[in-house]
A and B are shown apart, each in its own frame.
Chain A
Amino acid sequence: MTVVRSGGFAGIDRRGESDTASDPVLRGLVDRVDLGRVPPPGRIPDQFVYEIDIDGRVATVGEAQLTGPLRELVHHVLDGSV
Chain B
Amino acid sequence: MTGSGLPNPVKRVAWITVSCQRDLMRCTIVPPHMLERVARTDDPALRDMARRTLVLSATQRVERRTLPVATADPSEDFAPRRTVHDAATRQELPGKAVRSEGDGPTGDGVVDQSYDWLGVTFDYFEAVHRRNSIDGAGLSLVSTVHYGVDYANAFWNGEQMVYGDGDGTLFTGFTGPLDVTGHELVHGVTQYTANLEYFGQSGALNESMSDVFGSLIKQWHRGQTADEADWIIGEGLLAEGVSGVGLRSLKAPGTAYDDPRLGKDPQPGHMRDYVETYRDNGGVHINSGIPNRAFHLVATALGGHAWEKAGRIWYETLTGRAMSPNTGFAAFAAATIEAAGRLYGAASIETAAVKEAWDGVGVQR
Contact = CB atoms under 8 A, between A and B. Distances in A.
Contact of A13 (B17, B203, B279, B284): B279
B206 A11 contact: no
A35 B18 CA distance: 9
Nearest to A65: B13
Contacts, number: 121
B19 A36 contact: yes
Nearest to B22: A58
Contacts of A37: 15, 17
Contact of A6 (B206, B262, B263, B279): B279
A46 B28 contact: no
Contacts of A41: 27-28, 281
B192 interface: no
A1 B12 CA distance: 29
Most chain A CB neighbours (cut-off 10 Å) among B30, B158, B262, B279 = B279
- Name the prevailing secondary structure of the B interface residues: loop
Nearest to A44: B157
A39 B266 CA distance: 29
A47 interface: yes
Contact of B10 (A7, A10, A44, A48): A44
A40 B30 contact: yes
A32 to B, nearest CB: 17
Contact of A43 (B14, B197, B248): B197
B152 A40 contact: no
B27 A60 contact: yes
Interface in B205-244: 206-207, 210, 234, 237
A7 B13 contact: no
Given A12-B263, A40-B28, A6 B210 contact: no
Nearest to A8: B153
B281 A7 contact: yes
A17 interface: no
A24 interface: no
Contacts of B187: 45-46
Given A9-B180, A11-B285, A45-B155, A58 B20 contact: yes
Interface of A: 4, 6-13, 35-37, 39-49, 51, 56-60, 62, 64-65, 82
Interface of B: 9-11, 13-21, 24, 27-30, 152-158, 171, 174, 180, 183-184, 187, 197-199, 203, 206-207, 210, 234, 237, 247-248, 261-263, 266, 278-281, 284-286
6 contacts: A7-B280, A10-B237, A41-B28, A44-B9, A46-B154, A47-B155
